[in-house]
Amino acid sequence: MDPSEQDPLLLLRHSIASATPSAIVPTSSSDPSAPEVNLAQATHLRFTYPNPVSIPIDTQTRFISNGSPVDLRSIYFAWLNREVAIPEYNDAATKLNEELAGSATVHKFAFVERLDLITWLEGASEESEHIQPLSSERDAASAIGAAPGAATAAGGAIGAAAAASAVPVTSAGLKGLAVPASASARAGRGTLDPRLAQIYNGERRMADRNTVLRGIKPTDFSHVRKLAAPFMSKKPTSGTNGIVNNPVLALNQKPQRRPDPIILLSPSASSLLRLSNAKAFLEGGRYVPPDSSASSLSILHIQRTMRDIDPSRPMRFILVEGPEQFKPEYWNRVVAVFTTGQAWQFKNYQWSNPSDLFRHVLGIYIGWRGDQPPESIRAYGHRVMTCFVEKWREPGAPGAETGRWRDREVVENIWKAIENNMRIKGWKRDTAPLSI
């Protein structure tokens, strides 16, 4: 069998060119009937085009990276992830390496290497500086370059072999001679005289789109993104009047998206409302106790239509239990603070004094119906809204559902107070207040 028919890179390239869905199948056996398996479990790669053949997936290929050949699994994995960015590709390779558990390692290609490999595999380029030629191609090339008569001798040998086997010699069969793809077409019937092959090899190649636009070695401009990041993050603060007065900005400026309002919950273990049960209460209108096993939650998103602010679309609220990740401008988006009255909750707040805090932000306390709120909550006066829910009883216990219908009433009162406070602070359909 021709060594080129067993070459993993050529088999992979021909199978991709065939555009057949099942042309490349990872399997756990060399058996032609073996089913497809996950790439981490595969031991072979079965090619069905041009002829059915199974190649061990850890076979070393002719693609050289950092002076070492790259295995077939890494080549096929890079082709599967050809459309993702480098960070996502590296993350996927790390995940696959974890699944392989040390039995093998997927090679992570550099940006230029991966682009060169994918360009060659999809047929957009006929050459690659990272792919070594086949041994038969090197022998033919060295025979042609050895002496003036050597090329003719080598060409005659190739032509004689083709005539004896009744198989036409095409440009694919003389790939080591670097014959242009159009050479066989110009020969008329698919056969090519070796002397013509040598002449065609001296022609100037027509460049493809990759070499014309990017050159022989594509340039990586990813570093420009880091340089542009500080400029992209700075938004104009001159207001709408500056945009209207400047015709260039008026045409090109995109409308800024309204930021999401923020609600701060109490991180206290005694708080009746935590991240684990806030969605069921504030969105679903039913109180359930906090789930201690969900303590890993750090952020929560809920939606609510504020009819007096934007009746056409619901607003998304961000719920967090602490301001550790806050930027200074985030405090202008805080619309409510749920508290248990413990002063340590406000230690890292912009206004650590509760009296100052609740002059800027609506305070909300939730307790059990029938219990008295803490003395600190009563000391805050009208600046903190007190709400009470029915005491929780385990489902199935007598009276478990008694009074649970009042949960929705409590929730509606809370949202009504939040909406009224937002409207007073300057929240509108498309804008948020610049200060509170």
Contact 245, 259 (CB under 8 A): no
Q: At what angle do helices 111-121 and 8-18 cross, to 10 degrees?
A: 60
Distance separating the N- and C-terminal Cα atoms of the chain: 79
Measuring CA to CA, which residue among 291, 248, 252 is closest to residue 273? Answer: 291
Ordered by where they begin, the domains of the chain are 3-121 (no CATH), 135-210 (no CATH), 262-425 (3.40.50.11990)
- Tokens encoding 105: 């390692």
Residue 192 is predicted with a pLDDT of 61
Flag whether pLDDT at 111 surpasses 50: yes
User: Chain-wide mean pLDDT for the chain?
Assistant: 79
Tokens of 166: 């009744």
pLDDT per residue as tens digits for the range 342-363: 999 999 999 999 989 999 999 9
pLDDT of res. 225: 82
Closest CA to 268 of 324, 339, 219: 339
Three-state secondary-structure class, residue 363: strand
The pLDDT score that the predictor gives to residue 169 is 38
State the pLDDT confidence band at 246, using cuts at 50, 70 and 90: low
Cis peptide before 267 (omega within 30 of 0): no
Q: pLDDT confidence of 168, banded at 50, 70, 90?
A: very low
pLDDT band for position 334 (cuts 50, 70, 90): very high
Q: Which two tokens stand for residue 270?
A: 């005694």
The confidence score (pLDDT) of residue 174 equals: 40
